Chain A
């Protein structure tokens, strides 16, 4: 079972690389059950979107 600490690493890595099937499944299961990590994932996404916006892209 993935710990929250490991889950946050995978959430970040997912932005930069293709995760393995095993990593994808374990992250998905973890996020279904953990609201803290789910919020973390959303926030990393906000940061990504903010970076896109500041770089002149609106998507």
Chain B
């Protein structure tokens, strides 16, 4: 049987047994115990759920993901993460493994963030296309003919896969993302973190697709520069 979960907009394969909705609702107590006391109080030993350490790791990743986008609203970020975890816990019987739980929770989060941006009409206060000085910084890399200035062309970064396994890379990546101004970060986050198409971003933020590409190009170029300075600099030390 397949069930559409409205919150995550996902279709979940629940296996051979139909979902018993009243039975799910009676699990409110379990849910409360979980929130207050953690999984140790869970009265259902067969539940496919995470150990405390795994849950803490997942929560950390979820919170980082949300905080990158809801910078000034720490309380809201916590709430969104908690709601998503509770929803995942409530539906835990539907998952066949932890990877599936993780994918599912992240998709809930993405939808919640999109809704948050939409319903609160929280547009960044800065102009979305205003140049914050990035343009000059990027222009300095090139000569009059648009070729890389000597010594400034991008260098090899080594093995990208091993960078992604490196804790220090992630710390720098977060610093660089948080260094973006709010307006740029919004457009970049909607595209690269929430995975929205540029057409939808333009519509929501009331900007032309061309402007959207300009902002995204600027954001990527600046992020790349930041990583090159901080990460590659750190690596060669």
Contacts and interface: CB of A to CB of B under 8 A. Distances in A.
Same complex: yes
Interface residues of A, number: 31
A26 B199 CA distance: 25
Given A5-B142, A43-B157, A47-B224, A55 B148 contact: no
Contact of B148 (A36, A47, A48, A57): A36
Contacts of A17: 198, 209, 213
Nearest to A56: B106
A42 B110 contact: no
Interface of B: 61-62, 64-65, 68, 102-103, 105-107, 109-110, 142, 145-148, 153-157, 160, 163-164, 169-170, 173, 191-195, 198, 209, 212-213, 216-217, 220-221, 223-224, 227-228
Most buried by B among A3, A15, A54: A54
Given A12-B216, A39-B154, A47-B227, A4 B146 contact: yes
Q: Interface residues of B: mostly helix, strand, loop or mixed?
A: helix
B192 A12 contact: no
B196 to A, nearest CB: 10
